[in-house]
Amino acid sequence: MNPLTRFIFELQEISVLIWRSFVSLFTQPRYVGEWIKQMDLIGVGSLPIVLLTGFFTGGVLVLQTFPTLEYYSIQNEAGRSVATSLIRELGPVLSALMVSGRIGSAIAAELGSMVVSQQIDAMRAFGTDPNRKLVAPRLLALIFMLPLLTVAADIFGLIGGAMVANQLYNQEVSVFVNSARNGIQIADIIGGVVKPIFFGLVIGSVACHKGLSTTGGTVGVGKSTTNSVVIASIWVIIFDFFLSKALQYLLDMGRI
């Protein structure tokens, strides 16, 4: 199979996976317990790494931009600079990449192991639809939890930025906060929450597809896991570009 045919084939399979999972949310049986469990694992479980990432990203943004802003005597705009960068771009993308690494790999490895140890076959043999029981809860959890994680990362990024501005450059926290507040538009916040919804869908569907199509024993599980993280990360970055463009058009974002 040539790469283009393979790509179209995989795209079709992922689309079917998403559609079946979506439909299963509206029909019985619903595994609500599994939904909550996955939300806890994915959301609460990823909180520490996402918060750390956000905090230090905010800090390093101030560290790198403050001297330049100071050169142009607009250091009071440091808060605006960090807030817009974080909320529009870095918060959603970095959170998605961290979650892709932590959760995408875990999903692909778990489902892949279940495939090679025939647990998925057993599930089907006992009358359970693996899409309904395994894929839908994970997709749902990612779609719900990634925007929340992103908001948390944004807040911690602003805290990190304010701390660096205050401790290293002696800027009053109130100046940083006012600047950030003036710089953030409603459209930025909407865009910053809409993007992770799509990123969650991309990470979840790629990870589930790679896991469920695992072949070749334990070596295959390793391959699926790696492929899941790499492919989901690339798609997150590609999607980010097109989503940014679409949001700019729809929400009139990015004027300043």
Partner 1 sequence: MLDDEQEKPIMADGNEVITDFEEPINDRNRVAPVIEFRDVHLAFDDKVILDGVSFSIRRGETKLILGRSGGGKSTTIRLILGLLKPDSGQIFIDGEDITGYTEEDMMHVRQKIGMVFQEGALFDSISVYENVAYRLREQNVEEDEIEHEVRRMLRFVDLEDAIEKMPAELSGGMRRRVGIARALVGDPEIVLYDEPTAGLDPPTARTICELAIKLRDLQDVSSIFVTHEMNNVGYLSSEYAIINEQGEVVFEKEGERLCLINTEVIMLRDGKVIFNGTDEQLRKHRDPYIQNFVYGKN
Stretch that binds partner 1, among 58-66, 113-121, 219-227, 245-253 (CB under 8 A): 113-121
User: Smaller CB distance to partner 1: residue 29 or 216?
Assistant: 29
Among 7, 15, 121, 215, binds partner 1 (CB under 8 A): 121
User: Smaller CB distance to partner 1: residue 3 or 127?
Assistant: 127
Count helices and strands (H / E) in the chain.
Answer: 12, 0
Question: Within 15-44, which residues bind partner 1 (CB under 8 A)?
Answer: 29
Q: Of 103, 108, 102, which Cα lies nearest the Cα of 222?
A: 108
Among 30, 129, 223, 254, binds partner 1 (CB under 8 A): 129
Among 32, 48, 71, 125, binds partner 1 (CB under 8 A): 125
Among 15, 117, 167, 215, binds partner 1 (CB under 8 A): 117
Q: Is there binding between residue 220 and partner 1 (CB under 8 A)?
A: no
For partner 1 (CB under 8 A), the number of binding residues is: 14
Q: Is there binding between residue 72 and partner 1 (CB under 8 A)?
A: no
What are the backbone dihedrals phi and psi of residue 248, each rounded to the nearest 5 degrees, phi first? -60, -45
Given a contact cutoff of 8 angstroms between Cβ atoms, the answer to whether 160 and 153 are in contact is no
Cα 137 to Cα 32, 68, 111: the distances in Å are 8, 46, 13
Between CA 137 and CA 38 the distance in angstroms is: 6
Between CA 220 and CA 212 the distance in angstroms is: 11
Given a contact cutoff of 8 angstroms between Cβ atoms, the answer to whether 63 and 168 are in contact is yes
Between CA 164 and CA 180 the distance in angstroms is: 14
Minimal distance in Å, beta carbon 145 to partner 1?
20
Q: Is there binding between residue 167 and partner 1 (CB under 8 A)?
A: no
What is the binding site for partner 1 (CB under 8 A)? 29, 113, 117-119, 121-129
